[in-house]
Amino acid sequence: MAPRRRHRSSLSMITAMTSKSVSIAFLLCLSILTPLTSTQAALPLELDGRELPSLAPMLERVVPAVVNISTVTRIEAADHPLMRDPFFRYFFDIPQERRRRENNSLGSGIILDDRRGLVLTNHHVIAKADEIKVTLHDGRTLNATLVGSDPDTDVAVLRIPSQDLTALDVADSDRLRVGDFVVAIGNPFGLRQTVTSGIVSGLGRTGLGIEGYENFIQTDASINPGNSGGPLVNLRGELVGMNTAILAPGGGNIGIGFAIPANMARSIMEQLVEFGAVRRGLFGVRVQDLTGELASALGLDDNLEGALVADVDPGSSAEEAGLRQGDVILGVNGKPIGGSSDLRNRFGLLRIGERVELDIVRRGKTQRLTGEIGDPYRTFVPGKRISETLEGALLGEFSHSGGVPAIPVGSVETNSSAWYAGLREGDRIIQVNGQEISSLRDMAKILDRSRGLYSMRIQRGDELLQLSRR
């Protein structure tokens, strides 16, 4: 495996939202994307008596597997301060009910399993939605239920009634090459079944600040707001990616779009269907970027790309694999990495128990180590051992596997003390009473001193929440 050399680039983005009017707002923005319209003039069917190639036969097979997704999110509207005054409300006989408003948004989706009615889309398309409707190519509109969603990869899976559906075939996205022709399909600006074409402009794009785990396909096929969740297909009509974002400095498409690779999306989908959430493993290593200065100090080429091992957790999978502090990781499973964030992405997409091969440099010599992604859930302990407040919850050992150092919550029994405290399965406890925690023991000591009063800062999906008891 040839090591990668360092190159520098910068990218700035913000998110744009869709509403009833499907309005878009950008700066240098990550545009949330949403069915057949071409931006170029149609070519003649024949030239000098010879029939010209056309995408139409392929699209006739693919388009029925592409759906339009519409959502409704109900939000309580803020009252004027005077509305909170009991005297004012009584005097003017104003009812107690709070006003609610609805936000509508549009997106796209892909039918990947016609037998079970499973639809793949982006997390941001359906996030916080109270109602989700899927409109098929033939005009049928169906109510959809959420199977599971993973904010860290922006992947979600919906279920619809499985009657007369068409599923899309999935290609091996690892075999994509820069320059391959691709076609993007979706519902930009509510225009149903819009098709655009282009090429693969880049692979393995990371560090964009779009999602927690990034490994994007870059394409110049025109992607616009409303395309989110739609397919990127090869010329055989097989799914190679799921359209997710664009870079749009002026609010329009400039030919820089990003799609989640099909292999990655399918892997996340399998876990969402199996568990309802993604169960990420734990390797137990902390790393930092290998800068030019650090590389020189270690006697390495200062253009070498990799991740320097800063610490290895005792008893972890990393320690069992033989990894040591000061090692430089150059690649994972035969593929080079670009830095610490790239390594985190690779580990985050591996399943618990999966074997992993690491190409490293130790004291100037390259070698290969073999390990296994650990299971953080096997070390979960009952929350009651930590505090009566946490009775009914299973808590894991402190880890960095979710992107933020925290205590993972494995499960929470309904109507238990932990449930009423506000904890839910999948939460990650970051702070207790304003103090960072680095172990279950730390957490127990802090809660013991609090005498039943506490404040916990937690991560839930892509949100940070504060739970308290006073």
Q: Could you tell me the CATH number of the domain that includes residue 293?
A: 2.30.42.10
Residue 281 annotated as lining a ligand binding site: no
Residue 300 annotated as lining a ligand binding site: no
Q: Assess whether 110 and 163 both reside in one domain.
A: yes
For the question of residue 411 being annotated catalytic, the response is: no
**Max CA distance (Å), the chain:** 88
Which of 330, 352, 372 is a domain's end point? 372
Strand ranges for 249-321 from DSSP E: 257-261, 285-289, 307-312
pLDDT at 251: 58
pLDDT at 322: 92
Separation between Cα atoms, residue 4 and residue 20, nearest integer Å: 46
In a domain, 49, yes or no: no
Residue 251: left (phi > 0), alpha (psi -120 to 50), or beta? left
What's the domain range around 383? 377-469
Residue 247 annotated as lining a ligand binding site: yes
**Residue from 108, 173, 197, 228 carrying the catalytic annotation:** 228
Which of 244, 278, 312 is a domain's end point? 278
In the numeric block, which tokens belong to residue 333? 């499973």
C-alpha 147, offset from chain centre: 15
Residue 244 annotated as lining a ligand binding site: yes
Q: Assess whether 388 and 352 both reside in one domain.
A: no
**Residue from 31, 108, 123, 124 carrying the catalytic annotation:** 124
pLDDT at 144: 94
Domain count of the fold of the chain: 3
Q: Assess whether 228 and 105 both reside in one domain.
A: yes
In a domain, 1, yes or no: no
Residue 245 annotated as lining a ligand binding site: yes
Q: Assess whether 257 and 342 both reside in one domain.
A: no
pLDDT at 399: 67
pLDDT at 125: 92
C-alpha 240, offset from chain centre: 17
Q: Assess whether 263 and 289 both reside in one domain.
A: no
In the numeric block, which tokens belong to residue 207? 């560090």
Separation between Cα atoms, residue 386 and residue 247, nearest integer Å: 46
Q: Assess whether 415 and 347 both reside in one domain.
A: no
Residue 52 annotated as lining a ligand binding site: no
Q: Assess whether 72 and 194 both reside in one domain.
A: yes
In a domain, 412, yes or no: yes
Q: Assess whether 109 and 185 both reside in one domain.
A: yes
- Phi then psi for residue 91, to 5 deg, are -60, -40
Q: Assess whether 253 and 293 both reside in one domain.
A: no
Strand ranges for 45-144 from DSSP E: 46-47, 50-51, 66-76, 100-113, 118-121, 131-135, 141-143
Q: What is the DSSP string of 145-180?
A: EEEEEETTTTEEEEE---SS--PPPB--GGG--TT-
For the question of residue 154 being annotated catalytic, the response is: yes
**Residue from 31, 105, 108, 154 carrying the catalytic annotation:** 154
Q: Assess whether 455 and 346 both reside in one domain.
A: no
Which of 347, 372, 397 is a domain's end point? 372
In a domain, 47, yes or no: no
C-alpha 251, offset from chain centre: 23
Per-residue pLDDT of the chain (470 residues; tens, 9 = 90+): 656 655 443 333 323 334 443 333 333 334 444 333 444 444 455 656 676 678 889 999 999 999 999 998 887 655 555 555 565 555 555 555 555 666 777 889 999 999 999 999 999 999 888 899 999 998 999 999 999 998 888 999 999 998 899 999 999 998 999 999 999 998 877 777 889 999 999 998 877 776 677 889 999 988 887 888 999 999 999 999 999 888 766 656 667 889 999 999 999 999 999 888 887 787 888 888 888 888 888 888 888 889 999 888 777 788 899 999 999 999 999 988 888 878 888 888 888 889 999 999 998 899 999 999 988 766 678 888 888 888 888 888 776 655 567 888 877 887 788 888 889 877 889 999 888 887 888 888 888 887 767 789 998 876 788 988 76
Q: Assess whether 64 and 172 both reside in one domain.
A: yes
In a domain, 48, yes or no: no
For the question of residue 137 being annotated catalytic, the response is: no
Q: Assess whether 216 and 326 both reside in one domain.
A: no
DSSP H helical segments within 77-147, as ranges?
86-91, 123-126
